[in-house]
Amino acid sequence: MSDSDLLVIVPTRGRPESLPKIWAAWTATGAFMQADLVFVVDADDPVIDDYEATWEEQRFGFTGRMVRAEKWEPLVPKLDAAALAYAGSYFALGFMGDDHRPRTAAWSKTMVDALREMGTGVVYGDDLLQRERLCTSWAMTSDIVRALGRMVPAPVEHMACDNAVMDLAKLAGCLRYLPDVVIEHMHPLAGKTDWDDGYRRVNRPEQYRSDELAYGRWMRNGRATDVAKVKALMT
């Protein structure tokens, strides 16, 4: 097991400029006292050299990790693979996009303390956009990942991954919103960044339709089984 209780996974592509911004937010909030951070980048990213140069220039390797996926995959398969790889080494696993910035001091400790109290569960903070309505980032106990064999229960590619996590935890009775933990979502819909190729790709109508169908299939055919698996961890 790691000395830290929580590992936060940040899949990223085409945005090497996000690394120092995320690092600065983590450092300013004291996150590294309780959590580790891993970036998952694609080996075939056209700007992979910029990622590696930024990593070396900033000396992030002293307190974090950057792992390379062989090639581009949608968010959820990439996140699930990383979560499974680390689920045996951490008490809890988290997800943030490369456009999330923690703002609250000791937020990682607050999340871990809540999860320790719950034993098994999912927690999320205020992203200043969706707020309590949706966990655009989250942390969950690793036993859930091990029990399901994945972090995101529904077989979506990108959209509705947060809905599925909330749906699962709410029905299992192990979801907690932490309103005093601010993890700001610097999303174009909030007017906090511009639309780039990455945002445009995942917000295509085709992506919405595909993930909506996958989410619906999970709700009909897999959700009850997954909820039962999580409930079994709580007994």
User: What local confidence, expressed as pLDDT, does residue 71 receive?
Assistant: 83
CATH of domain 6-233: 3.90.550.10
Structure tokens at 110: 């607050």
Angstrom CA distances, 182 to 29, 105, 122, 136, 138, stand at 11, 9, 16, 12, 12
**How would you classify the pairing of strands 175-185 and 122-126?**
parallel
Going from N- to C-terminal start, the domains of the chain cover 6-233
Of the two residues 214 and 199, the one the predictor is more confident about is 214
| pLDDT classification of 2: cutoffs 50, 70, 90 | low
The pLDDT of residue 61 is 65
The pTM assigned to this predicted structure is 0.94
Q: What is the mean pLDDT of the chain?
A: 92
Sorting pLDDT into bands at 50, 70 and 90, what band is 19? very high
Q: How many CA atoms lie within 13 A of 214 on its CB side?
A: 19
| Residues 156, 222 contacting (CB under 8 angstroms) | no
39 vs 103: CA distance, rounded Å = 19
Residue 99 identity (one-letter amino acid): D
Contacts of residue 74, Cβ cutoff 8 Å, sequence gap at least 6: 157, 158, 202
Would the pLDDT of 190 be above 80? no
pLDDT tens by residue, 44-92: 999 999 999 998 887 776 667 888 888 888 899 999 999 999 999 999 9
Look at residue 214 and tell me whether its pLDDT is greater than 90.
Answer: yes
Q: What is the pLDDT of residue 160?
A: 92
Please enumerate in sequence order all residues whose Cβ is within 8 A of that of 142, keeping only pairs 6 or more positions apart, or say none.
Answer: 86, 87, 88, 90, 91, 92, 93
For the residues 2-11, what does the mean pLDDT come to? 88
